[in-house]
Structure 1
Amino acid sequence: MAISKNVRYIMFLGGFVGLIGATMYPIAISPMMDVSEYKKIQKEARKNIRQEDIQPGNMKVWSDPFGRKKPDSE
């Protein structure tokens, strides 16, 4: 029994889309779902860097432009 051309075409496209999805998962989807590993890596990599020392042109280190104040601890 021969499989029709439409079924083969649909299986080919489904496999192609599945392959792209399987390729993109570890690259794009997984890092967005769990950022804790990347935060840990970034914290370790920037451990000995003082941002004030590497800020270009003696510019002020970024601060919140909306001026949110931290709650006072009493």
Structure 2
Amino acid sequence: MTVVYMTRVRYGLLVGSFVAAVGATMYAVFLYPRQHIDYYKTQQSKNRAAIKIDDIQPGGMRVWSDPFDRRKHD
């Protein structure tokens, strides 16, 4: 009975650690950037400050737009 119990405990720890790892990854990839939009917005403006859009924009295509600019619904 003890061997079966230890196997179940190990299995539970394995599954629990997998769930925790997936949860930590989801937080880092999805939730953290959504909660810190201002930080990413300022980083993006700093990174694109030296880029002249007219020099690199192919003809006939629209210029970059701000991905953080939310449309207002009436």
State the TM bucket, normalised to the shorter chain.
0.5 to 0.7
CA root-mean-square deviation: 2.7
The structure whose Rg is larger is 1
Cross-structure match for 1:53: 55
Residues 1:50 and 1:25: Cα distance change in structure 2 (over 3 Å) = same
Shift of 1:60: 4.5
Letter in 2 for 1:47: A
> Residues 5-63 of structure 1, C-alpha deviation per residue, up to 9 Å, x if partnerless?
3343122201121123223422333112322111101101111323222211x21434x
Question: What is aligned with 1:71?
Answer: none
Give the % identical residues: 36
Structure 1 residue ranges without an equivalent (≥5): 63-74
- In 1, distance between residues paired with 2:57 and 2:39? 26
For 1:29 and 1:35, the matched residues in 2 are separated by 10
Q: Normalising to structure 2: TM-score of the pair? A: 0.58
Counting matched residue pairs gives: 62
- Give the partner amino acid of 1:59: G
CA distance in 1, matches of 2:50, 2:10: 57
Residue in 2 that maps onto 1:22: 24
